[in-house]
Amino acid sequence: MHYQRRRFTISALALSVAATLPLLAAPALAQQGYPDKPIRLIVPFPAGGPTDTAARIIGQKMGESLKQTVVIDNRPGASGTIGAEAVAKAAPDGYTLLMLATPTLLAPHLIPRKSYDLFKDLTPVGAAYELPIVMVVNPQSMPDVTDLQQYIAKVKGKPGEFNYTSAGNGSFGHLSTELLKNLGHFDVQHVPYKGSAPAISDLLAGQVPMMFADMIAALPHIKAGKLRPIAVGSAKRVSFTPDVKTVAEQGFPGFDASSWGGLLVPAGTPKEIVAKLSAELKAALADPTVQQKMLGAGTVASYMPPDQLATRMRNDYAKWGKVIKDNNIKSD
């Protein structure tokens, strides 16, 4: 009798394990078949901008490799936080991605939102691109300024008389100029605009003499001779303007003002899917055709694995958060 009871117990255990195995195997099988339906890539900015263009180029290439359509879903508003929130609250199954850009990373410093936590509710897949910024002056307003030190000497010679423009309060151009002001101990007044286009328009008209602009917006006017580049914000020179020195090369070692974008997914997405997406992103960015298309859009293909992107996010969040706090910068 004792033997029979023991045999029954073992049989019951075996049945229990057998019943559980399909449940354990289901996620693994789902991951093996991933993706088996279209993937949605949310871009938290309007169509036509550098983040949107980069997302479409990368999404198309990844879709070809994954043999699934990558659908671009533009969700603009509130510096990208509307789109980021949508991804943070989506199912963690690898079918909803976010193209994060620097303004959205820094938005919590300027537009507090308690509905999601960028670092807890989202998981990095990999960095995708760099968006260089360039310090430009109107050559009619500043005919004698051809480099950064000449600019600083000029504005220091007449403190309080010069101003600069940007795409708006809290924009990356605004933050970069304020950081440079702090390091260079000079003072110029900020004149914010509602977007890059009107800011550059008044820069071209001579209403303001200087701006830290996105390369994609400034390059046509640089090529036409209507704007003069005097410094690049990134740590290294860029191919768009190879002869223009970086801010770091012109007396400010370590200065690095780089806007960038990267893919994220909802927290809790299976590691195998994150790894697959990261590998696909890396392969897409290594493709010469993709690289050329992105250069044409003013961005530079630049892959970074998930762990390095996570570190960069935290470092940039702290670095620029300090600039925002120290300069009492508020959003529009």
Closest CA to 39 of 280, 294, 286: 280
pLDDT of residue 25: 41
Q: What Rg, from alpha-carbon coordinates, does the chain have? A: 24
What pLDDT, on a 0 to 100 scale, did the predictor assign at position 115?
86
Query: Judging by beta carbons within 10 Å of its beta carbon (0-12, 13-18, 19+), is residue 170 exposed, middle or buried?
Result: buried
101 and 246 in a single domain? The answer is no
- Average pLDDT for 229-244: 94
Residue 296 has pLDDT above 90, yes or no: no
Domain assignment of residue 184, given as a range: 133-250
In this structure, are 137 and 222 located in the same domain? Answer: yes
Q: At 82, is the secondary structure helix, strand, or coil?
A: helix
**In this structure, is residue 120 part of a structural domain?**
yes
217 and 139, same structural domain?
yes
Q: Of 189, 215, 250, which closes a domain? A: 250
User: What is residue 299's three-state secondary structure?
Assistant: coil
Mean pLDDT across 177-205: 93
Whole-number percent of the chain with pLDDT over 70:
89
Same domain membership, residue 95 and residue 153:
no
> 79 near 111, Cβ under 8 Å?
yes
Between 5 and 43, the more confident residue is 43
**What is the tally of structural domains in the chain?**
2
Phi, psi of 191 (to 5 degrees): -120, 95
Average pLDDT score over residue span 159-184: 93
Single out the residue in 190, 222, 250 at which a domain terminates: 250
The structure tokens 């400010």 sit at 252
Residue 23 lies in a domain: no
Residues 205 and 272 in one domain: no
Query: Residue 161 maps to which CATH number?
Result: 3.40.190.10
Q: How many Cβ atoms from other residues are within 10 Å of residue 207's Cβ?
A: 14
Residues 11-32 have pLDDT tens digits of 444 444 444 444 444 444 445 6
Report, as an integer, the average pLDDT of 263-277.
98
Task: Tell me whether residue 44 is in a domain.
Answer: yes
The last residue of a domain, from among 250, 278, 294: 250
Domain assignment present for 283: yes
pLDDT band at 48 (very low <50, low <70, confident <90, very high): confident
pLDDT at 33: 87
Across the chain, what does the average pLDDT equal? 90
Note whether 291 and 79 are within 8 A (CB): no
Could you give the angle at the alpha carbon of 34 between the alpha carbons of 33 and 37, nearest 5°?
Answer: 105
Q: Is the domain of 213 the same as that of 312?
A: no
Domain-located, residue 24: no
List the CATH number of the domain containing 312: 3.40.190.150
**Residue 139, pLDDT above cutoff 70:** yes
246 or 169, greater pLDDT: 246
| Per-residue confidence (pLDDT) for residue 332, from 0 to 100 | 67
Q: Is 124 found in the same domain as 183?
A: no
> By the 8 A CB rule, do 136 and 222 touch?
yes
Q: How far is CA 111 from CA 34, 168, 169, 184, in A?
A: 36, 14, 12, 28
Does residue 301 fall inside a structural domain? yes
- What distance in Å separates the CA atoms of residue 207 and residue 224, rounded to the nearest whole number? 19
Residues 215 and 161 in one domain: yes
Q: Look up residue 158 and give its two tokens.
A: 């007449």
Would you call 31 helix, strand, or coil by DSSP? helix
Residue 2 has pLDDT above 80, yes or no: no
User: What is the pTM for the complete model shown?
Assistant: 0.85
Closest CA to 161 of 191, 188, 193, 199: 188
Q: How many helices (DSSP H) and strands (DSSP E) are in the chain?
A: 11, 11
Residues 182 and 79 in one domain: no
- SS3 (DSSP) at 242: coil
pLDDT of residue 196: 84
Residues 169 and 244 in one domain: yes
Q: Is 18 a member of any domain?
A: no
pLDDT of 43 higher than 90:
yes
Do residues 191 and 211 both lie within one domain?
yes
Residues 6+ apart with CB under 8 A from 59: 41, 70, 71, 72
What is the percentage of the chain residues whose pLDDT exceeds 90?
76
Q: What does the alpha-carbon distance between residue 32 and residue 22 come to, in Å, rounded to a whole number?
A: 15
